[in-house]
Amino acid sequence: MTRDPDHLLPSRSPVQLIDEQGVAVSGDRPDFPSPAALLDAYAALVVGRRFNEQAYALVRQGRLAVYPSSHGQEACQVAAAQVLAPDDWLFPTYRDAVAIVTRGVDPVDTLTLFRGDWHTGYDARAHRVAPQTTPLATQLLHAVGVGHAARLRGEPTVVMALCGDGATSEGDFAEALNFAAVFRAPVVFLVQNNQYAISVPLSKQSAAPSLAHKGVGHGVVSERVDGNDVAALLAVLTGAVARARAGEGPQLIEAHTYRVAAHTNADDPGRYRVAAEVDEWIPRDPLTRTAAYLRGTGVLDDARQAGFDAEAERVAAALRAETTPTTDPGQLFAQVFASPTPQLREQAALVRDELSREVDA
């Protein structure tokens, strides 16, 4: 085992390129994103924020079953999707709808799961976006498998695997890092450390110097980044994706951010955190900061902003227009196996019979 621990450990503090006032603090870094890239990111941030707000509103109206919002974390969402090439894969959790939308999946399809309709609403293979995963950290191993498969075939695919701070405590997180490192799988693990796992703050989750320090024990190169700074995220993730693609093995990135909204609409954060804590994060908002920088550098003007807002409204309107799903009883049994077992055929017949009698009655 020759890997040098110094090379694997993250930097002493999170990488930041644009500060809370929208001022570039490391403008001379060669990997500072281009104005065009930042403008793209900003456009997606605007859409993402609107998407989060609209989805949350739909829950209040009873039109979505549940929605775990990424409000405040949109920079992570947008960067995770935008650094990928078309043939790369994204492995999102329940909280990563905005990343999925940024990747190009239809916003309405993205919400299928939360609408109470069939579980996964988009074509995972076509978009190379895995179904959103709820059992925490389990998807990280799938990401390793997808990456290893691509590597065995000599394809240049990189897999972006997302999870939260809480999920890093699951055994599967460690197993995924370890497998990825041993097989040098081209996976970028992005931990969105939003400080909470439902009600449990990071201080009860881990005693580590940082979550990025979990890499060295597996021989995984690690870094940490300001998770509300989309420029820093783009720079750090682009580097990580490039290294993974170049065969340098898996990369672990911890993004320091904050879950501004409740865990889901069903949650009551008043029970475990004070409003003042949330207030502290408002000035660090990823949108205002990026807008300030882009305005300051003359890249963003009112017309462009209006264009982004209009696109965001279009997405919101589409979400509102979607109606409740119609159910097809046959779907209960159709895809358990490639072809239903005799037992499933009997059960499907029972349901058909029951429903036909209801209609008759």
Ligand X SMILES: Cc1ncc(C[n+]2csc(CCOP(=O)(O)OP(=O)(O)O)c2C)c(N)n1
Size, binding site for ligand X by CB under 6 A: 15
Q: According to CB under 8 A, which residues from 141 to 180 bind its own copies?
A: 169-175, 178
Q: According to CB under 6 A, which residues from 111 to 170 bind ligand X?
A: 134-136, 163-167
Q: According to CB under 8 A, which residues from 9 to 28 bind its own copies?
A: 9
| 41 token code pair | 């990111």
Closest approach of another protein to the CB of residue 200, in Å: 5
3-state secondary structure of 332: helix
Q: For residue 93, list its beta bridge partners.
A: 133
Which of residues 107, 166, 249, 286 is near its own copies by CB under 8 A?
Answer: 249
Question: Of 178 and 305, which CB lies nearer to its own copies in the complex structure?
Answer: 178
Question: Of 77 and 210, which CB lies nearer to its own copies in the complex structure?
Answer: 210
Question: Of 2 and 61, which CB lies nearer to its own copies in the complex structure?
Answer: 2
Would you say 127 and 92 are in contact if contact means Cβ atoms under 8 Å apart?
no
Q: Please state whether beta strands 89-91 and 159-164 pair in parallel, antiparallel, or not at all (unpaired).
A: parallel
Number of CB atoms found within 10 A of residue 37's CB: 18
Residues of the shown chain interacting with Mg ion in the complex, contacts defined by CB under 5 A:
164-166, 194, 196-197
- Taking the C-alpha atoms of residue 42 and residue 51, their distance in angstroms, rounded to an integer, is 14
Question: Of 43 and 244, which CB lies nearer to its own copies in the complex structure?
Answer: 244
Q: In what order do the strands lie in the sheet with 89-91?
A: 89-91, 159-164, 187-193, 251-256, 221-226
Q: Which does 194 bind (CB under 5 to 8 A by kind): its own copies, Mg ion, another protein, none?
A: Mg ion
Residue 243 in the binding site for its own copies (CB under 8 A)? no
Question: Of 2 and 339, which CB lies nearer to another protein in the complex structure?
Answer: 339
Closest approach of its own copies to the CB of residue 188, in Å: 16
- Taking the C-alpha atoms of residue 137 and residue 321, their distance in angstroms, rounded to an integer, is 33
Q: According to CB under 6 A, which residues from 190 to 229 bind ligand X?
A: 194, 196-198
Q: Which does 214 bind (CB under 5 to 8 A by kind): Mg ion, its own copies, another protein, none?
A: its own copies
Number of CB atoms found within 10 A of residue 337's CB: 9
Reported as type and span, the H/E element at residue 191 is strand 187-193
Q: Which does 102 bind (CB under 5 to 8 A by kind): Mg ion, its own copies, ligand X, none?
A: none
- Taking the C-alpha atoms of residue 286 and residue 260, their distance in angstroms, rounded to an integer, is 12
- Taking the C-alpha atoms of residue 105 and residue 101, their distance in angstroms, rounded to an integer, is 5
Q: Please state whether beta strands 200-201 and 196-197 pair in parallel, antiparallel, or not at all (unpaired).
A: antiparallel
Q: For residue 163, list its beta bridge partners.
A: 191
Q: Which does 307 bind (CB under 5 to 8 A by kind): Mg ion, its own copies, another protein, none?
A: none
Residue 56 in the binding site for ligand X (CB under 6 A)? no
Would you say 24 and 232 are in contact if contact means Cβ atoms under 8 Å apart?
no
Closest approach of Mg ion to the CB of residue 315, in Å: 25
DSSP code string of 233-253: HHHHHHHHHHHHHTT---EEE
Question: Of 35 and 145, which CB lies nearer to another protein in the complex structure?
Answer: 145
Closest approach of its own copies to the CB of residue 249, in Å: 7
Question: Of 11 and 324, which CB lies nearer to its own copies in the complex structure?
Answer: 11
Cβ-proximal residues to 214 (8 Å cutoff; 6+ apart), any chain: 168, 173, 174, 177, 208, 222, 252
Residue 198 in the binding site for its own copies (CB under 8 A)? no
Q: Which does 316 bind (CB under 5 to 8 A by kind): another protein, Mg ion, its own copies, none?
A: none
Would you say 17 and 32 are in contact if contact means Cβ atoms under 8 Å apart?
yes
Q: According to CB under 6 A, which residues from 76 to 115 bind ligand X?
A: 95
Residues that bind its own copies (CB under 8 A): 1, 3-5, 8-9, 169-175, 178, 181-182, 184, 202-211, 213-220, 249
Under the rule (CB under 6 A), what is the footprint of ligand X?
95, 134-136, 163-167, 194, 196-198, 259, 263
